[in-house]
Amino acid sequence: MCGIVAYVGPRDAAPILLEGMQRLEYRGYDSAGVVVSNRGLKIRKVKGRVADLAKVVPARFKGTVGLGHTRWATHGVPSDVNAHPHLSADERIAVVHNGIIENAGELRAKLEADGVEFASETDTEVLAHLIAKAADENDTLEEAVRKTLKSVVGTYGIAVIDAERPGEVVVARNGSPIVLGIGEKEMFAASDVAAMVRYTRQVVHLEDGELAVLKADGFHTFASDARETAKEPLTVDWDAGHYDTGGYEHYLLKEISEQPETITRTMSGRLDERFHVAHLGGLNMDARETRSFRRVKIIGCGSAYYSGQIGAQLIEELARIPSDAEPASEFRYRNPVVDPDTLYVAISQSGETYDTLAAVQELKRKGGRVIGIVNAVGSAIAREVDGGIYLHAGPEVSVASTKAFTSTSLAFALLALHLGRVRDLSPADGRRIVEGLRRLPGQIEEILAQGDKIAELAQKYAKHPSMMFVGRVRGYPVAREGAQKLKEISYVHAEAYPASELKHGPLALIGPDMPTVAIVPDDELLDKNLTTLGEIRARGGQVLMVGHREPGAKLADDVIVVPKNEIELDPILLTIPLQLLAYYAAVALGRDVDKPRNLAKSVTVE
């Protein structure tokens, strides 16, 4: 969940490391540190932001090899001492680490029995001392790291330098991403390509259990048993400009505003106007295999899970295949029955979400057919699955997901159309959905044009300590995602319920201090949803309705009218005003919109 940057080459490392760390700030962190090697190790680290770290890095902080790190606390409180990098007792070895060492307590006890004194509360410091001990016994740093990792249980992405071998960096991965960047007579490594795109777009992704040695003139990779591995570089599509705010006050507003373009990219080249079908060659399935599935199971975490609920509804409606979504973190631990007739779909914007990756690996181990819906090309989940759909939404920097959520929901519409047209969805219905998909970008622009009105409503409702979100069937996952957005960036408590369930308990909460955001599409459940609004109003509750028309009989205090599309696709549009509502509420309350407290963009620990 934290950020790693490493450099080796002819240039001064510190400015490169600090810039890379700034580009990783969106991942969430509480402290930062940097180390360079030049006749010994020079280190600076602070509790706080990268900008705070830059202030304490002296001008004469020289070295052509170094490591940078942004930490999200797991072991030990955020502090200068607990910040990474961590040094061995003799200050020879420096380590940065993402992940959790599960047997750190046992390893720490053994080291302390041998007289080692620890400076921090972290699990990472264990690695520094173990590698230093192994380095005294081995000729190479890579062998010392490899030997140390044999005794480690847990997840890690690590980078290591040795003051006695100043021309190299050793990195390793197990469950936490490490990407190599290939420059001109220089090498980079990071936990995210964002840290390196200014300098190179040629990257290599390490697999779990793989290590690499980086030197200025190249790299080599090898497995934990020392066997050499062959890697082919990829060219990433994103460049440094994708990680700028583009004149917007926040990344989140920029990413919300980009959605007409991002969903157009997601659809690009995938719609067939002649046969009214979606072409998804990346699934790696022919029509016969596609028809063989009798159920679809979708797994994801957070907003990915909620988009999976929208996806399950789309697949059931368009393809008439029983479908459901489940949090990946629950799925992987309940010993699920893996059915050969089930198509499993894993969702992750980053492609590195640990719980989802672990669930995919368990499914593969049991013979399940798994496809992925992923934004990051070459990521771990993308490499692990049998096929899938890339979103092509571009980098999503703000911690709260918006454009990736919308593009994922759209990808499910494409998948549902694809599955439906090889089964029983008629050409007429296929044409209807294709035409609806074509209308989406323009309709999203219409919603974005209501930004000023939604900002005023956000100021009105943000003063309340808690809000209820309700919806039925297609509207329920929209309500869940709306509540998630509000609480994660504005810190206003919000919960989502099926509108039909209000009277079974939650209605007791409704009153003047508990406004309700009601998702009311113009579908077959319109009258039932309007009845729910009447129940809320009768109990003194305020109602902000998001729907396709003004309700009668003063059933809502405020209304956000959304353009109408096909009923199956309406949830994609109904989500957009809720993103804006959450954004403007967070701004009104003075929150750190792009980096909400306690959260990280890519969750690579359990």
Cα–Cα dist 547/570, whole Å = 10
Q: Kindly provide the b/e burial profile for residues 493-520, where b requires at least 16 CB atoms within 10 angstroms of the residue's own CB.
A: ebbbbbbbebeeebbebbeeebbbbbbb
Q: Is 86 in contact with 124 (CB distance < 8 Å)? A: yes
Report DSSP state, residue 199: T
Q: How many Å apart are CA 404 and CA 409, to the nearest integer?
A: 9
Concatenating the DSSP letter of every residue in 382-413 gives: HHHSSEEEE-------SSS-SHHHHHHHHHHH
C-alpha 136/C-alpha 157 separation (Å) is 23
Q: Are the beta carbons of 158 and 172 closer than 8 angstroms?
A: yes
Q: Which of the following is catalytic: 297, 485, 595, 601?
A: 601
Residue that the structure tokens 């959905």 belong to: 433
Q: Which of 2, 133, 301, 595 is catalytic?
A: 2
Residue 379 amino acid letter = S
Angle between helices 570-588 and 403-421 (to 10 degrees): 170
Q: Residue 239: exposed, middle, or buried by beta-carbon count in 10 A (0-12, 13-18, 19+)? A: exposed
H or E stretch including 19? Answer: helix 13-23
Amino acid present at 437: L
Per residue, what are the HEC states of 51-90? HHHHHHCCCCCCCCEEEEEEECCCCCCCCCCCCCCEECCC
**Residue spans of beta strands (DSSP E) within 401-536:** 466-471, 493-498, 516-520
Angle, alpha carbons 369-377-6 (nearest 5°): 125
601 tagged catalytic: yes
Strands (DSSP E) found in 292-368: 295-300, 323-327, 342-348
Order across the sheet with 295-300: list the strands.
323-327, 295-300, 342-348, 369-374, 387-390
Distance CA 187, CA 227 (A): 22
| DSSP H or E segment with residue 194 | none
Note the Cα 550 to chain centre separation in Å.
36
Partners of 33 in beta bridges:
45, 69
Rg (CA), the chain: 25
DSSP code at position 371: E
d(CA 410, CA 412): 5
Chain position carrying tokens 């062959």: 230
Catalytic residue annotation: 2, 601
